[in-house]
Amino acid sequence: MAERVEDWWGRRQFTHDDPVPYPVGAYREAWAPYPMLIRQYHPELNAGITLTQVPPAADVLLLWECEVGHQFAATPAEQRSRPGRERRRSSWCPECFSLAKPRRVRAAGEVRPPRRSTAPVMCRKTPALPPGASFLSSCAPKPSSAIEGRLRFDLEHRLSTSWGDNAVRVRRPFFDHLEVWPDILLPELRVAVEYDSPGRFGLEHVGTRQLADERKDRALRAVGWEVVRIRTGQLEPLGPWDLQLTTFGKRGVDRVIDRLRDIRGPLLIDAYLL
């Protein structure tokens, strides 16, 4: 059971036999991908303990304050997973979230509609292709990042590969599809390139969204593909071939091609260079 921060800190002082069991900055890298949580945390509300002294896996109740002024208690794990599928700043604060999406109150005598089945309904638009085959999917979302478009443009002018496909058939359902949609596909090389940034408010590719990214990578590797993720900002690499960049610049494409050489070998990759 989660305990108050004062009790948790006192117990750590006793077990570590140290007045400062976790020095300031010990967990700075672990919290860096969550800029919104850094803004919501205030040491003066938590016995003077800084966020960088709290392990992300600690079962401790911390006091947070959102930008509006709502104060609430939550564990590090609860806060790191709070955004879910929402792309709102309010999703970091339970009170702001409830105000943004208030619960509907039924009128007296209103009949509750029948409960829908929770079993996932699989999309039938995925073609009957062998697992690992790439194709053009009508279900794939449109690119949402200008940098992603620039990366695609730069790779198209460096590699002589096919560029029409946007989906890969997988063996197991990914949510309600038997396909996944990487940002960029290199079918001849069987490599997917993903561009990840934390976004303006740190909502992207963290918490449950990171779990979905890892699940997608496993689905691709299970059908013979490899994944290169360009992780910008403070996002840490998820796989063995990921590139961690502060920002994506001109040298980013060169590093991607070098990573492709690491994965498939320079002899194959250089044969596709323009």
75 Cβ contact list (under 8 Å, min separation 6): 2, 58, 59, 60, 61, 62
Task: Provide the percentage of residues in the chain whose pLDDT is more than 70.
Answer: 92
Lowest mean pLDDT among 80-89, 156-165, 197-206, 212-221: 80-89
pTM of the model: 0.73
pLDDT at 106: 67
Domains of the chain in start order, with CATH, are 3-100 (no CATH), 134-271 (3.40.960)
- Do 168 and 178 form a contact (C-beta atoms < 8 A)? no
Residue bearing the bigger pLDDT, 6 or 205: 6
Identify the top-confidence range among 118-132, 140-154, 207-221. 207-221
Using CA atoms in the order 70, 40, 196, 133, what is the torsion angle rounded to 10 degrees?
-50
Lowest mean pLDDT among 16-25, 51-60, 139-148, 153-162: 139-148
Single-letter amino acid, residue 25:
G
- Using the predicted structure, report yes or no on whether residue 266 has a pLDDT greater than 90: yes
